[in-house]
Copies of this chain bind each other. A is one copy, B any other.
Amino acid sequence: MQLTQSVHHAVQQTPDLTATIFGDRVRTWAESVDRVARLAAALTDLGVRQGDRIGLLALNSDIYHEFLLAVPWADAVLMPINTRWSANEIAFSLRDSDTRVLYVDDTFAPMAPQLRELAPCLENVIEGAAAVDRLIADHEPAPDARRGGDSLAGIFYTGGTTAQPKGVMLSHNNMMVSALGAVAATNTVPGGRYLHVAPMFHLAALSGWLLHNVVGGTHVLLSPFTPVGMADAIERHRVTDTLVVPTMLQLLVDSPATAEHDLSSLRRLAYGASPISDALLDRSTKRLPDTEFTQAYGMTELAPIATLLGPDAHQVPRLRRSAGRAAPHVEVLIVNEHDVEVPRGDIGEVVARGDNVMLGYWNRPEETSQALRGGWLHTGDAGYMDEDGFVFLVDRLRDMIVSGGENVYSAEVENALAKHPAVAACAVIGVPDGEWGERVHAVVVAVDGVRPTVDELRDHVKEHIAGYKAPRSIEFIEVLPLSGAGKVLKRELRSRHWAGRDRSVS
């Protein structure tokens, strides 16, 4: 299978159907794929060869959609970049993957000089939409390279628990199998209009884009997210499908400014990153009575879908805290530290197996074989499974914090914090937050009792990593609780904040 295969169907079967809507710009499938074929020719002309990585640093737009197709069309490899990363983080991923061609949209064009300096591997930077249009105008359509199957389709960097992000290598089959499995498990119908409001560099959003190509329909692209912008787009374009994180949903249904919008066209809403609270689900169901809710759980390494919680399960209060059941294309088990399946109800690590499991981490054979030991992808998530196969996540083994839909790795924040001269020791945890789901919270042992302010520490952290990762609250402590092995007992630190609450994702 190939990432591009569905758009050949679109050109054959629905050439005059709208492919993309971005603001006032509307393109049919015939037009969109013609642009893709010309853009692919331009990439080849820029020296891109089979397997070369092409970086994408851009907000959602129809041009993002075109690059997602043109890169495989030109036999190259996608390297979508987290738009919230600092220049240093981006440059690391460019160097690590030896990326030579980068697209930056108009928003990120000002970053180009710095990136060129920090990532000398870059040979060509395509800056802004006008440059893309010129490339397209200057080239004749190229044929689709049609490489597919188990060959590399993309490298997707995920924040590591160690200092450096890791590049997850996914094949065409990995991503297509996940898309087909998700389509098979859900009530999708052709001809819908899918609103892309979650950032498309995230594999969750990219996967929504891919499965909508498989089903066939129209992409509505929006960026950046605002509740009113989302409501406007749904109303104006009669959007039928979308994918969000719960924070976005909460803002959409709770904002007074969206109260009068007609959202009645929305049929299916997928959400990920964390479960939805009963209160939010109730308010959402009231606001969106004709919308079916599906939760997807997975990770980049799974291309990305492992489990799905469908509309029926949402009717069962007990199951709303679940991440759902294994999707048709993947097997999921809960295992102990010896990789043996545990009895139902017992907590262990969530592992997954299937054709969606990544090829490995780019240039990291040891971490790859560790993650894939025994043929199963070890998610690092702790959870249990009930008698009906529903998975309940109870902890993240690596203490990842999910704040506003973004994964924040505590070790990374701790590394940044620890560089401040007033910080003797620290631990970063997620604590409950009404707005963000979880908030990044730092527990700090101060040097000589000198207590820096929150703002001072936040500013310091932001010099090193993206702003959303900086702690929003800080507490000081005399000494960190340590395990016998000398590891910080985060569970203990969290317990005060989470007392009496169900921290199903932490």
Interface residues of A (CB under 8 A from B): 1, 5-6, 8-9, 12-14, 149, 177, 180-181, 183-185, 187-190, 214-216, 325-326, 328-329, 331, 354-355, 385, 388-389
Contact = CB atoms under 8 A, between A and B. Distances in A.
B215 A184 contact: yes
Given A14-B389, A184-B184, 15 more contacts: A1-B355, A6-B328, A12-B325, A12-B326, A12-B385, A12-B389, A13-B325, A13-B388, A180-B180, A180-B184, A183-B183, A184-B214, A184-B215, A185-B190, A187-B189
A504 B411 CA distance: 64
Copies per complex of this chain: 2
A214 B181 CA distance: 9
Contacts of A8: 331
Contact of A326 (B9, B187, B325): B9
Nearest to A11: B389
Contacts of A355: 1, 149
A393 B495 CA distance: 68
Nearest to A333: B12
Given A180-B180, A184-B180, A184-B183, A331 B215 contact: no
B13 A328 contact: no
B1 A177 contact: yes
25 contacts: A1-B329, A1-B354, A5-B331, A6-B328, A8-B331, A9-B328, A9-B331, A12-B325, A12-B326, A12-B385, A13-B325, A14-B388, A14-B389, A149-B355, A180-B181, A180-B184, A183-B184, A183-B328, A184-B184, A184-B188, A185-B190, A187-B187, A187-B189, A214-B328, A215-B328
Would you list the 7 A-B pairs with minimal beta carbon distance, nearest first?
A: A13-B389, A183-B184, A12-B389, A180-B180, A214-B328, A13-B325, A184-B184
